[in-house]
Structure 1
């Protein structure tokens, strides 16, 4: 055996109670804009748990726990990641901005910043040139202390009025012919990307 897989007991998992009461804030929240699939929402919970996301906002038609379909994919993460259902995602974006979050639509737009340029000088300059209302501090780093990542519906993406309300747009560079990823995959890619 070249490389033995770790047993679950060796992974150093903590209990849900220890996690809920002892984890530090990451400064990251997710906003799910009308995601219709319970499987995708369940995957979002599981990924949010893995990356230490502070909270998930479930907008519009998103399935909400408790849900057997959602739980099947979330594997209990819906019990440890705080969540809130909201009807109006635009109003939520404004509320998060008032609370000090930079709100980022994960969407392909005319002026979106590529994930691999986020935080680099060229990405900052691009955002500053096309989003002049951004604060100097937001343009200087594009990695604010607190930010909300907005992910959209499986078919329509992030609603245009939500994109318009956000501070900037971020896109995942892609090859191939579809230029489209499943929303649960996008969540994982972006959370991994902003961490590195």
Structure 2
């Protein structure tokens, strides 16, 4: 078996303009006070890769256009829809009113272990990721349908936010893999 690396033109990726008009997964990301611009850029890039509907940038989370975000987003800040809100909780309330089931990704009592999470493909979902030090605000957790926790086995108690987004999205989007 030969494993020749594919050239970019062989990947058949859609253009930024095509991305804006094609069907997206019914999943949005809410960034709750993310301080690292590199993390924000990475979330844009991962959201583009999984064809998510939107990113909500809340609180101190930086917004495009921004050179530091662009470094890691590699242009995904132009393809993925986004919206800024000074406060996270009103975004959560609006998403719930629009039929989204909101999950905070956080270590919390009664959290769901990620490997047991399977979201039905007939729903809409919002995944909230919190500040690199403080995590998701308690008031946001209080208004979530539940918390999702990534199992960990080492000495550290958390992943980098951009790594968490990638891990969680891979598990969550698996039921949709044949959609596109």
TM over 0.5: yes
Contact in 2 for aligned 1:118/1:142 (Cα 8 Å): no
Q: 1:26 corresponds to which residue?
A: 25
Of 172, 176, 185, the residue aligned with 2:163 is 185
Contact in 2 for aligned 1:60/1:88 (Cα 8 Å): yes
Kindly indicate whether residue 117 of structure 2 is the aligned counterpart of residue 111 of structure 1. no
Q: 2:137 corresponds to which residue?
A: 159
Q: 2:123 corresponds to which residue?
A: 145
Q: 1:57 corresponds to which residue?
A: 56
Supply the distance in 1 between the matched residues of 2:15 and 2:91 (Cα, whole angstroms): 31
Return the structure number with greater helix share. 1
Q: 2:41 corresponds to which residue?
A: 42
Cα distance change, pair 111–143 in 1 and its aligned pair in 2 (3 A): farther
Q: 1:86 corresponds to which residue?
A: 85
Instruction: State the Cα RMSD in Å.
Output: 1.4
SS at match of 1:156: coil
Which structure has the larger Rg? 1
Contact in 1 for aligned 2:56/2:83 (Cα 8 Å): yes
Cα distance change, pair 164–143 in 1 and its aligned pair in 2 (3 A): farther
Measure how far apart 1:75 and its partner are.
0.3
Return the structure number with greater strand share. 2
* Runs of 4+ deviating beyond 3 Å: 141-144
Supply the distance in 2 between the matched residues of 1:150 and 1:62 (Cα, whole angstroms): 13
Q: 1:96 corresponds to which residue?
A: 95
SS at match of 2:63: coil
Measure how far apart 1:88 and its partner are.
1.3
Measure how far apart 1:179 and its partner are.
2.4
State TM-score, norm by structure 1: 0.85
SS at match of 1:78: helix
Paired residues, number: 174
What is the CA deviation profile of residues 84-113 of structure 1, one whole-angstrom value per residue up to 9, with x for unaligned ones? 000111111111101100000000101100
Gap runs ≥5 in structure 2: 175-180
Supply the distance in 2 between the matched residues of 1:98 and 1:14 (Cα, whole angstroms): 32
Q: 2:148 corresponds to which residue?
A: 170
Supply the distance in 2 between the matched residues of 1:14 and 1:82 (Cα, whole angstroms): 16
